[in-house]
Amino acid sequence: MPVVSRLRRVPPLWVLLTATAVLYLWGLSSAGWANAYYSAAAQAGSQSWTAFFFGSFDAAGSITVDKPPLSLWPMALSVRLFGLSSWSILAPQAVMGVATVAVVHAGVRRATGSSGVALLAGATTALTPVAVLMFRFNNPDGLLVLLLSCAAVATLRAVDETRDGAGRPVRWLALAGLLVGLGFLTKMLQAFLVLPALALTYLLCAAVPWGRRVAHLGVAAVTTVVGGSWWLIAVDLWPADSRPWIGGSQHNSVLELVVGYNGLGRLTGDQVGAVSGPQGWGHNTLLRLLDPTTGGQAAWLLPAATVLGVAALWLVWRDPTPETLRARPTIVLWLGWTLVTWLVFSLMNGIFHDYYTVALAPAIASAGGVGAWVLWQHRGSVVATRVLGLAVLATTVMALTVLWPQRGWQPWLPVTVTVAAVIALCLAASAHRRAVPLGGGFVVIALVTALAGPAAYSVETVGQAPSGAVPHAGPDSPRARAATGRDTVSPVGTLLQAGRPSPTLVRLLTRDADAFTWVAAVTGANSAAGFQLATGRPVMPVGGFNGTDPAPGLPAFRRLVREGRIHWYVAGGGLLRADAGAESAEVSRSGSDSAVRIAQWVRTRFEARRVDGVVVHDLTRPRAGAG
């Protein structure tokens, strides 16, 4: 009994954060290197401070990853402290996930004053399947979501301080701008998708004159620029011949990376150096995020959160109460974040992957939670009852859209959701007819309807071991396997998956390794990642991530070979076939053909040998008579 009594005194927030930590850390090492591309870069950053600063793929500094380096730094520092392992690379991501849940909880608690609603928003964030995936993975998105969530809460704090007459709101707004700038150094222009929501919230809701509002936003703009540009300026000023090539660019330019491959090209589809399959990047319509596969990542509550947010915003503007008035800026911000991100992700023509939708997780949870709370304060009205019932209906339709194609996975799940939804709708209809407020029974059944599907998908995600460049949450499916490239992985690796070289091949590559700058070169960064992580030595990813960067060009590669700086060349990496060094016909590509030309030159000049099914060329031993 004393133990039970002590447990009851544990703050609910700590229970939520502990449960989230268990969910995100459980069996973490089963994912191996997760995204080996970033794991290899973290390994390089742990071996060389120069590689650390630039975000170089390899410690010898041949080329950077195709993102800014901020998301690599926590991993690289962890590897320096604890050694190279799955845990040292992935544990920082899990910590970011727990921190994100705490930030969402804090923001909702401050807006509503309700511990229960804050816990619900935090739990919804934690149980979003793509959040479970990405906070157990090492893509940049986890850090991006944490930074932008902090920026949102800092903006709301600035608004509150203009109303309370305490403190200096401009400091909080400046902090928000700095955090968005750091988000830019995490995943470039995607960080700026939240700016319309942040700026609009302060403009509409701050309790200071309009001139001061604009001036305060000007300060935030300055800190955003400073936070997001200092690394770009340093790279631009650094002599190009003494730093790595900027991965993802065709002209060794970080500005090109910002504007093109990782910038406007994502919207227009004009991305030199990008590759795509026969289906391109899917159908860019407003329904893109709601289809059965993409919707299972984060969109379970997207329609309901939109309905609840819009209705709550109408209520707090039309009929504000002292309790709900404080929620107005919160709804504006999170609803704006949701709608802008939904719109851009749906209509963008460039590279899009389902896991990008993790950016919606805190917004959906907060907009839906605060919106539901506002409507609950008005639950005696017909409008509020109808909207709550509509939210349950929208959630049910979305859940069945995701679950029905997967009904063979957990056949009880769509039945459970349907039955719970019918009961919740009957309770709402009964309350409406009898003109009595909804009760706690409705809340419990509605939560079952809303969270049963995402929770099941999240548990399934924890039980998997996702790897590669394009991970996917939830149960396995043909589309998920095609997206990750798991069906086509080879010992050398592929465009999206790192290979696993045999011990015999690793011993061969590391023989006399100290005499060379790079123990090997191979086309494509994922192919190179498998060899670099296995050998612990720099491996040159010819052509960068896609094999489409002119890094190095054939003349530069020939010079490095002549200088004795590269020992082996591994054939068949990335998009190339080991037998002919030609491009695969399965994808379309643009950008440099240097990788193809290098492969052809190596094949004609150096003898090939096969080791455990992998073709390698010793670049220190030309063919007899080769020119």
How far apart are the C-alpha atoms of 349 and 466, rounded to whole Å? 26
The whole-number average pLDDT for the span 621-625 is 80
What are the tokens at 445? 């059944």
At 245, is the pLDDT very low, low, confident or very high (cuts 50, 70, 90)?
very high
Burial code (b: 16+ CB inside 10 Å, e: under 16) for 294-308 equals bbbbbbbbbbbbbbb
Question: pLDDT tens digits, residue range 423-445?
Answer: 999 998 888 777 677 888 999 99
Q: Is the pLDDT of residue 58 over 70?
A: yes
- State how far Cα 265 lies from the chain centre: 18
Gap between the Cα atoms of 150 and 546, Å rounded: 33
Question: What is the model's pLDDT at position 480?
Answer: 59
Q: Please give the pLDDT value at position 285.
A: 85
On the 0-12 / 13-18 / 19+ scale of CB atoms within 10 A, 329 is buried
What is the predicted pLDDT for the residue at 1? 47
pLDDT band with cut points at 50, 70 and 90 for residue 481: low
Across residues 303-326, what is the average pLDDT?
Answer: 89
Contact 509, 560 (CB under 8 A): no
Rounded CA-CA distance 105/4 in Å is: 25
Residue 7 has pLDDT above 60, yes or no: no
Question: Rounded mean pLDDT of 375-398?
Answer: 92
pLDDT at 279: 55
The SS3 assignment for 306 reads helix
pLDDT of residue 258: 87
At 413, give phi and psi (nearest 5°).
-70, -50
- What are the residues whose beta carbons fall under 8 Å from the beta carbon of 313, sequence distance 6 or more? 328, 331, 332, 335, 371
Which pLDDT does position 78 carry in this prediction? Answer: 98
Could you tell me whether strands 614-622 and 539-542 are parallel, antiparallel, or unpaired per DSSP bridges?
unpaired
What pLDDT does residue 579 have? 47
Model pLDDT for residues 127-152, shown as the tens digit of each residue: 999 999 999 999 999 999 999 999 99
pLDDT of residue 6: 55
In this structure, which amino acid lies at residue 608?
A: A
Residue 618 pLDDT level (bands cut at 50, 70, 90): very high
Out of 283-287, 345-349, 453-457, 545-549, the most confident range is 453-457
Positive or negative, the CA dihedral 85, 145, 244, 553 is positive
Closest CA to 135 of 31, 228, 64, 210: 31
Report d(CA 76, CA 72) in Å as an integer: 6
Higher pLDDT, 93 or 276: 93
pLDDT at 142: 97
Q: What is the pLDDT of residue 276?
A: 60
Residue linked to tokens 């399934």:
460
Q: What percent of the chain has pLDDT over 70?
A: 91
pLDDT at 483: 52
- The whole-angstrom separation of Cα 62 and Cα 244 is 5
Is pLDDT at 485 greater than 70 in this prediction? no
Residue 284 makes CB contacts below 8 A (sequence gap 6+) with 346, 347, 348, 349, 352
Least trusted range by pLDDT, from 166-175, 287-296, 469-478, 607-616: 469-478
Q: What is the rounded average pLDDT for all residues in the chain? A: 90
> Between residues 432 and 329, which one has the greater pLDDT?
329
HSE-up of 219 (CA within 13 Å, CB side)? Answer: 17
Distance CA 586, CA 594 (A): 19
Give 246's pLDDT tier (boundaries 50, 70, 90): very high
Query: 514 versus 491: which is more confidently predicted?
Result: 514
Predicted confidence at residue 440, as pLDDT, reads: 86
Tokens of 600: 């052809």
* Residue whose token pair is 């939904």: 342
Task: Indicate whether 584 pLDDT > 80.
Answer: no
Residues 584 and 536 sit within 8 Å (Cβ to Cβ) = no
Phi-psi region of 348 (alpha: psi -120 to 50; beta: other; left: phi over 0): beta
* Mean pLDDT calculated for residue range 186-193: 95
Least confidently predicted of 116-130, 254-268, 604-618: 254-268
Q: Which residues contact residue 136 at a Cβ distance below 8 angstroms, ignoring those fewer than 6 apart?
A: 24, 28, 31, 34, 90, 93, 94, 97, 461, 462, 466
Q: What is the pLDDT of residues 202-237, one digit of tens each?
A: 999 999 999 999 999 999 999 999 999 999 999 999
pLDDT at site 605: 94
Whether 484 contacts 470, CB under 8 Å: yes
Dist CA 191 CA 228 (whole Å): 10
Structure tokens at 567: 């020992």
- What is the pLDDT confidence band of residue 507, given thresholds at 50, 70 and 90? very high
Check residue 380 and give its pLDDT.
Answer: 84
The pLDDT score that the predictor gives to residue 4 is: 52
Chain mean position to CA 539: 26
- Decide which of 115 and 284 is more confident: 115
Task: Determine the 3-state secondary structure of 606 from DSSP.
Answer: strand
Read off the pLDDT of each residue in 554-561 and give the average, rounded to a whole number: 96
Instruction: Give the residue with greater pLDDT, 86 vs 278.
Output: 86
Distance between CA atoms of 500 and 513, rounded to whole angstroms? Answer: 19
CA distance 190 to 278: 25
